[in-house]
Amino acid sequence: MTLAAANGGEPLIRWDWIGDHTGQLADLTAHHLKLALLPILFGLIVAIPLGLLCARWRWLYPPTLGVANVLYGLPSLALFMLCIPYFGIGSGGRADFTIIVPLTLFSLSVLVPNVVDGLRSVPDPVRQAATAMGFGTLRRLIQVELPIAVPVVIAGARVAAVSSISLVSVGTLIGNGGLGQLFVDGYSRDFTTPIIVSCVLIIVLALVSDGVLVAAQRLLTPWARRGTR
Amino acid sequence: MIQFDGVTKRYADGTVAVDDLTLQIPTGQITVLVGPSGCGKTTTLRMINRLIEPTSGTITIDGEDVRAQDPARLRRGIGYVIQHAGLFPHRTIVDNIATVPYLLGWDKKKARTTALELMERVGLDTKMAKRYPYQLSGGQQQRVGVARALAADPPVMLMDEPFSAVDPIVRKSLQEEFIRLQSELRKTIAFVTHDIDEAIKLGHTVAVFKVGGVLAQHSTPDELLAEPADDFVREFLGGEKGLKRLRFNRDLDRQDEPGAERQDKPDVEAAER
């Protein structure tokens, strides 16, 4: 079943090409996922303590948010190139950090505000009751405020994950773009199949990651199932 | 006994929330702090467990200055119930109730057993133990709030408008159960409300505050109704008309429990059985 010819009698999608390249497609998909989602993990590891600090000492928040936003404003390609001298160029191994580090920085601009907003979403009576029952500041943050912030933090992680999955493709320009590599491949050979396949796979990855995060939220916060506070 | 001695709370902007308050909250009794908003009743309550620190004066519980104690440790020994219960949304009912026992480092099993006992005590079905607060009605949440405050069996309880956010019918039943519970437990309770009916109904003594944190009168409900100390108190009780209504209601309440002072209520209940 071939689709209508788009250029010079060549079909839009050549299913046999897909069949011949399943191994490569699986590898690229896995690599794309790694490049996109490790930054979210690292981002959370940085954003949670940073958000806690910003919630504890409020004056820290505006400058932190300012820095995160400026970072987000930088072109991703520029940041990738800035990282080349440190981690190298190419795909796999150490060179992956050329992509992972900038994407981690990008994720912070979404994750930090969400951690802070999440902590601020804790209802006042709850915070007050915790204090009045004898929670110290740190224990209250970790045992009461942070768990209550989880739905808002995960909402941020969902946005960051989808944006990260799409940004990885830009890495193609420095030779490490996961599924984005297929773009270049397709364009340089005037061959549409890899382009369409990579687009579809990237969209599927975004949808699946989002679904996994939604499921994670349901598991982690059974108490919030009927609409989050 | 909780003793306030010349306690004043003045904020940085000069507002005086509580003005030179001297007040005794007797052991094993309910002392109701009542007054219009801005009268300093909640501030007074919160100074007991150091959520707010007084500007001057001393507060002692059984002779011990509260400010000489570590705030967190002090608070674990004082039950606290607030208007919207303030339950932890992310913890089940049983874990909410066991909060203070957990903080005190009790064995988890013992803490949960105690929590389940308390659920029954405050009139909650133990089938709800594994539910989350959002699955409960306002009245049920408030019962959980009371159970949580009682969990580590503190001698002192502070209650800040605990029944104000529920509808009148639920409020009435919560009040009645609270009276029953207190007749068994005999806690030293400071109870804040803006509702004079509730104050008269629940208090062994009632402390009426004026705006500006001045104590206008502290006496038993009967004395309060018989002899309001000044025009402010008379006005707060609703003038002649209000007084008539409150006295009438009080007589009705008494007919419900013939010849019974509230302290003797367990005996009355025993006699009824």
Mean pLDDT score, B191-211: 95
pLDDT band at B257 (very low <50, low <70, confident <90, very high): low
On whether the A18-222 domain is CATH 1.20.1250.20, my answer is no
Mean pLDDT score, A54-62: 90
> In this predicted structure, what is the pLDDT of residue A201?
95
Q: In the predicted model, is pLDDT for residue A229 greater than 60?
A: no
Instruction: Tell me the C-alpha distance between A224 and B98, whole Å.
Output: 21
> In this predicted structure, what is the pLDDT of residue B9?
96
Residue in chain A closest to B154 (alpha carbons) equals A133
Distance from CA of B89 to the nearest CA of A (A): 6
> In this predicted structure, what is the pLDDT of residue A26?
93
Q: Tens digit of pLDDT for each residue in B83-103?
A: 888 999 999 999 999 999 999
Look up residue B52 and give its two tokens.
Answer: 């707010």
Q: At what angle do helices A61-73 and A97-120 cross, to 10 degrees?
A: 140
Distance from CA of A209 to the nearest CA of B (A): 25
Distance from CA of A128 to the nearest CA of B (A): 8
Distance from CA of A137 to the nearest CA of B (A): 10
Q: Look at A3-12, A105-114, B139-148, B197-206 and tell me which has the smallest mean pLDDT.
A: A3-12
Is the pLDDT higher at A138 or at B149?
B149
> In this predicted structure, what is the pLDDT of residue A72?
85
pTM over 0.90: no
pLDDT band at A225 (very low <50, low <70, confident <90, very high): low
Closest partner CB to A133 (pick from B80, B83, B84):
B80
> In this predicted structure, what is the pLDDT of residue A7?
53
Task: Identify the CATH number of the domain defined by range B2-77+155-272.
Answer: 3.40.50.300
Q: In the predicted model, is pLDDT for residue B269 greater than 50?
A: no
> In this predicted structure, what is the pLDDT of residue A220?
92
Mutation site for A-interface testing, chosen from B88, B141, B158 by largest number of A Cβ within 10 Å: B88
Mean pLDDT score, A202-212: 96
Q: Could you tell me the residue ranges of all domains in chain B?
A: 2-77+155-272
pLDDT band at B260 (very low <50, low <70, confident <90, very high): very low
Give this complex's ipTM: 0.85
Mean pLDDT score, B146-155: 95
Instruction: Tell me the C-alpha distance between B119 and B150, whole Å.
Output: 10
Q: In the predicted model, is pLDDT for residue B262 greater than 90?
A: no
Q: Tens digit of pLDDT for each residue in A1-18?
A: 444 444 556 788 888 898
pLDDT band at B272 (very low <50, low <70, confident <90, very high): very low
Q: Measuring CA to CA, how many Å separate B92 from each of A147, B88, B134, B146, B149?
A: 13, 8, 10, 15, 16
Instruction: Tell me the C-alpha distance between A112 and B5, whole Å.
Output: 47
Cβ–Cβ below 8 Å for A126 and B148: no
> In this predicted structure, what is the pLDDT of residue A226?
58
Q: Tens digit of pLDDT for each residue in A152-205?
A: 999 999 999 999 999 999 998 888 889 999 988 888 888 999 999 999 999 999
Mean residue pLDDT across chain A: 89
Instruction: Tell me the C-alpha distance between B125 and B116, whole Å.
Output: 9
Closest partner CB to B80 (pick from A132, A148, A222):
A132
Q: What does B172-234 look like in DSSP terms, one character per residue?
A: HHHHHHHHHHHHHH--EEEEEES-HHHHHHH-SEEEEEETTTEEEEEE-HHHHHH--SSHHHH
Q: Could you tell me the residue ranges of all domains in chain A?
A: 18-222
Closest partner CB to B90 (pick from A125, A131, A148):
A148
Mean pLDDT score, A92-106: 92
